[in-house]
């Protein structure tokens, strides 16, 4: 969750939702501006706020993107090995056919 998303989320809350959120985060009496300030300046508050809102932090998003990239690279390596194996098999078959044709 980035500051713009948090701001939009706070703006969309009604008074009871906001009070419940502020209480769950542990910032009773804080205004939206104060919540935003803590969110931007303090990583611990960012994590707490995101947890309460059930949203990933920007760091969580970066980790997920890195994990997805690693999984994609792993798939690419597997496909490359399969392609190499197919090429070897087809090359061997072609060689065998050539040998049979020559020996006749």
Against a cut of 0.75, is the pTM above it? no
Question: How high does pLDDT run on average in the chain?
Answer: 87
- pLDDT tens figures, 37-57: 888 888 888 888 899 999 998
pLDDT at 78 over 80: yes
Q: Residue 98: pLDDT above 80?
A: no
Q: Of 101, 98, 93, 7, nearest to 49 (Cα)?
A: 7
Of 48, 51, 55, 42, the residue nearest 5 (C-alpha): 55
**Contact between 30 and 22 (Cβ < 8 Å):** yes
Distance, in Å, from the CA atom of 45 to the CA atom of 38, rounded to the nearest integer, reads: 6
């Amino acid at each position: 969750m980035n500051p713009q998303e948090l701001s939009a989320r706070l703006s969309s809350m009604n008074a009871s939702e906001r009070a419940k959120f502020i209480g769950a985060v542990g910032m009773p009496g804080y205004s939206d501006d104060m919540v935003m300030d803590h969110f931007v300046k303090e990583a611990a508050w960012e994590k707490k706020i995101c947890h309460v809102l059930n949203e990933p932090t920007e760091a969580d998003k970066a980790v997920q993107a890195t994990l997805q990239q690693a999984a994609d690279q792993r798939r690419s390596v597997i496909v490359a090995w399969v392609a190499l194996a197919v090429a070897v098999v087809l090359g061997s078959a072609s060689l065998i056919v050539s040998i049979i044709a020559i020996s006749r």
